[in-house]
């Protein structure tokens, strides 16, 4: 799973480095949309156990990472 995130980050940085920006510290990235929905629900419900279960497995904290938007 680390390779998927690393590969995506490299593609984004190489594709458009002039438009790079930094992600706010309060954001997470997930492998699937379902996982993203689950972590959002867990945060809204203050469900620390679910947040911990998702973080580091199918979701990662992306705060502070540099990104670029591509079409």
CB 68 within 8 A of CB 11: no
Tens digits of residue pLDDT in 9-49: 434 444 444 567 787 777 888 999 999 999 999 999 999 99
Taking the model in full, what pTM does it have? 0.58
* Enclosing domain of residue 8: 2-67
Read out DSSP for 24-70?
Answer: -TT-EEESSHHHHHHHHHHHHTT-HHHHHHHBTTTEEE-TT-EE---
Structural domain tally of the chain? 1
Q: Please report the pLDDT score of residue 2 as a whole number.
A: 47
Tens digits of residue pLDDT in 48-67: 999 999 998 999 888 888 87
Q: Please report the pLDDT score of residue 37 as a whole number.
A: 94
């Amino acid at each position: 799973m680390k390779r998927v995130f690393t590969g995506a980050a490299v593609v984004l940085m190489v594709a458009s480095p002039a438009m790079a920006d930094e992600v706010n510290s309060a954001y997470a990235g997930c492998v699937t949309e379902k996982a993203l929905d689950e972590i959002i629900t867990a945060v809204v419900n203050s469900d620390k156990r679910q947040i911990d279960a998702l973080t580091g497995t199918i979701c990662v904290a992306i705060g502070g990472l540099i990104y670029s938007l591509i079409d």
